[in-house]
Structure 1
Amino acid sequence: MNGTKENTANMGTVVWVVQETYNNLVNLRNQENREAFNKELLRLMPPVQNYVAKRLKTAIRTGTLNKGMFSPNDFTDQLFIEVYDNWELVKNEYDLRPFLFKKVDDLLDDRLTEEEFDHMFFENIDTYSKQEWDSMEEEYSTDGDGDLVLLEELDDRSLTKDDYILKHVFITEEEKELAEKLDESLEQERVERHVHMVLNKMSMPMRTVFQLYADQGFTTAEIAHIREVTLDEVETLLSRARKLLKDSFVKRFLIDSN
């Protein structure tokens, strides 16, 4: 499927950067060189910054956060302090990325009000016409456009690119045939817009679990640690998110609309 090799290569790059950065951070922390430590940690910040920006954008779109109240660097600036002051909690290179996301997740949860699951949207998913789908996508795409952008010094597109490949939604062999049909008829950008729109209708816990899994490449066990919930809860939320996304793709693009 389109994008699979690119996504694998990107994740390989992230793993290599984490390994090298962790070793450098250990040495710099032992030297108590905070400035150099923060500069080195900056290498891992683009995906964290992107994750924060997505959560803030969603909060603005759902009306639970006023525009301009926070920016992503409000949270990442605090994250630098948290990581340096609590470095002893990072036992090895494999702990580093989950630790970063857990800390920033805690900071976000302390500030943001949890939005509700949009039951009306999903209950009526069978009835939307093509015009209604297109209208909702247009509304989503333009609402809050330009509200939040990555800091210039953190704008590393190789690490922040959204890549919601259909394989994250269609996972069984039978479903993969549906994914191939979608892959042939839709451009990647169209897939991403649709996924973002539908995710925006989910509850924060469900959406966050899917983003951490599909966007950041964490395992379900790592997500359970980051979100401080049980593994069963993560797997249930991920399964429900996949089903809702799959149903939305099928209803919108694979079944003739009214």
Structure 2
Amino acid sequence: MEAVIKDIRILMKTTYTRLVSLKKEQNPELFNTELLKVLPNIYKYVSKRLNSAVANGKLNKGMFNPNDFTDQLFIEVYEHMDEINGANELHTFLFKTVDQLLEDSLLEEEFDHVFFDNIDTYSKPEWDAMEEQYSRDGDGDFVMLEEMDDSSLNKQNYTLDHVFITEEEKELAEKLDASLKEDRISNHVEFVLNKMDLPMRTIFQLYTKQGFTLTEIADIREVSLTKVEEILSKARELVKNSFENRFLL
């Protein structure tokens, strides 16, 4: 995961330099072609958001396509390129803009208090049924456009390292790692994240999958750094508890 995030940062730096030149040349066609190189990860992020909204009953399947949002980015980036100072700002701007576009279009997803309040009472059949339901409703069928496809960006599974961070917690992670396959771990994290409200889930995703710093996330979400730290800590705790109740008890 760290290698993928590093590759994205390098690509963003190269792309930013090229975009600055193309904007000065007033060449929107080549500008959009260059910007397309960094959009696969954005496209995947938007797809996850739309799939989650479908799974939570906040969006009818087929109402939106990720392209509806990524296409608008071409316009927004070109118009504001002169205000973007550096590759890191470009990276943040892309996610901040697409977040705003999504939130203008989607109904707010609520925190599933019933699920988390009863997380220590579910039986194995109940867990299986809930995850099967999510698998049917939440996986989605958005396909990356061929010209935007990048296999390196598709290998971004959640891992136990995203959740278990202290030495004591890592002992639990080792037990889970020995009994669960990588896809099983990632799918469970996705399922639990889907039960969180949008701000909590988004902050967790931006930090773990996109590699943004807490300060950058605060900018994207337009909240304080303290709030980001608080929400990320809570999200980790909820996911950790779900693993313990699902697989270790």
Shorter chain as denominator, the TM-score bin is over 0.9
- Aligned residue in 1 for 2:234: 240
- Aligned residue in 1 for 2:93: 99
Is the CA contact (8 Å cut-off) linking 1:67 and 1:147 kept in structure 2? no
- Aligned residue in 1 for 2:51: 57
Deviation at 1:148, TM superposition (A): 2.1
1:58-137 to structure 2, matched below 5 A, reads: 58-137=52-131
Question: Is residue 34 of structure 1 aligned with residue 25 of structure 2?
Answer: no
Deviation at 1:143, TM superposition (A): 1.6
Of 138-147 and 182-191, the range deviating more from structure 2? 138-147
Question: Is residue 46 of structure 1 aligned with residue 40 of structure 2?
Answer: yes
- Aligned residue in 2 for 1:188: 182
- Percent sequence identity over aligned pairs: 60
Residues of 1 paired with 2:99 and 2:163: CA distance?
24
Is the CA contact (8 Å cut-off) linking 2:214 and 2:228 kept in structure 1? yes
Deviation at 1:146, TM superposition (A): 4.0
- Aligned residue in 2 for 1:8: 2
Given candidates 118, 129, 140, the residue that maps to 2:134 is 140
Q: Deviations over 1:83-104 (max 9, x none)?
A: 0001122111221111100011
Residues of 2 paired with 1:77 and 1:188: CA distance?
33
How many correspondences in the alignment? 249
Deviation at 1:153, TM superposition (A): 1.8
Residue identity in the other structure for 1:205? P
Residue identity in the other structure for 1:100? L
Is the CA contact (8 Å cut-off) linking 1:224 and 1:234 kept in structure 2? yes
Q: Which runs of 5+ in 2 are unaligned?
A: none
Deviation at 1:145, TM superposition (A): 4.4
Given candidates 191, 212, 216, the residue that maps to 1:218 is 212
Residues of 1 paired with 2:164 and 2:140: CA distance?
31
Alpha carbons of 1:102 and 1:157: their partners in 2 closer, same or farther (altered >3 Å)?
same
Runs of 4+ in 1 over 6 A off after TM superposition: none
Q: Deviations over 1:93-121 (max 9, x none)?
A: 22111110001111111111111110000
RMSD: 1.1
- The two structures have a TM-score, normalised by structure 1, of 0.94
